Amino acid sequence: MKILITGIAGFIGSHLAERLHANHHEVIGIDNFSDYYDVTLKRENAAALSQLDIKVMELDLREDDLEAALPKDVEYIFHAAALPGIASTSTFEQYLTNNVIATHRLTVAAAHLAQLKMFVNIGTSSIYGKDVFCDEEQMAKPISNYGVTKLAAEQLVMSQSRLGNYPACSLRLYSVYGSRERPDKMFSQLINCAIHGEKFSLFEGSLEHKRSFTHITDIIDGIVSTIGKEDVCDGQVINLGTDQEYTTAQGIQTVEKLMDTKIGIDLKPARSGDQLRTKAVIDKAKKLLDYNPQVGLEEGVQEQINWFEQ
């Protein structure tokens, strides 16, 4: 099967490309190599994918001629490209263009792909709001520009299904971590601090925040399980994550235990847009996708530590 991945040089996109290639699919990708974080890391990911004969096209979904650029025989699209996080350095306009305008242009271009079997949007639990412990029927109440624009992007994709233009679904991911995680994410920062003896920047009140920390392996398992299930996935929003819940404090303690060190804390003022709790309810994923996350927190963090130290 010929599969297109957007954001292919990023954390989730690169792992997804490797898995699909290993499953004998023909994979091509798009990435604009944005400077949200060190572009060198994305270039390294892209170079590794090229070694597998995975074609990586440097394109900007917001500006380039997508109808001309996209291969006409693409059968699946996994849309992972987005401006992530709640960084104070990112403006609303940047979230709007990267997450909404880019998605709109891609969904329009996808309508011209005659062999398209399904468009899979890679969404986020951030669209639910501040305190998340719910199934997919819960009304979305995002509290950050990231969450607001990702909800809009999701609806653009789902509207194509509702209009009957092509099958589409959206996967809402929960607190993904593992090798190649973005440098600004929690476990990347913690491991870096442990290695270099630096203090970890902790936002006030966040020690008690709760998350369904989900290893990248379990997330990719869920994403690829949509293939061949167009009939059951079309029009569906599906949570992907572990149903185990951990506090930020437990995350810190896990890194300290595995790396046999104590990490100092640099307390920062509370951050606007932070969620208090995101616990994945995955009954729907289990039913539709036979989804069964397996990687425990210590095992997953150890994998990331091993990668980081290399």
Dist. CA 151–CA 99, nearest whole Å: 9
The DSSP code for 37 is: S
H helix intervals, 111-236: 145-162, 186-196, 216-224, 230-233
Q: Is 166 a catalytic residue?
A: no
Dist. CA 184–CA 87, nearest whole Å: 9
Region of 105 on the Ramachandran plot (φ > 0 left; ψ -120 to 50 alpha; else beta): alpha
Residue of 275, 272, 270 whose CA lies nearest to 133: 275
Dist. CA 306–CA 260, nearest whole Å: 14
Do residues 71 and 2 make contact, with C-beta atoms less than 8 angstroms apart? yes
Task: Give the Cβ contact number of residue 172 at 10 Å.
Answer: 26
Catalytic choice (36, 95, 128, 146): 146
What amino acid positions are annotated as catalytic residues? 146
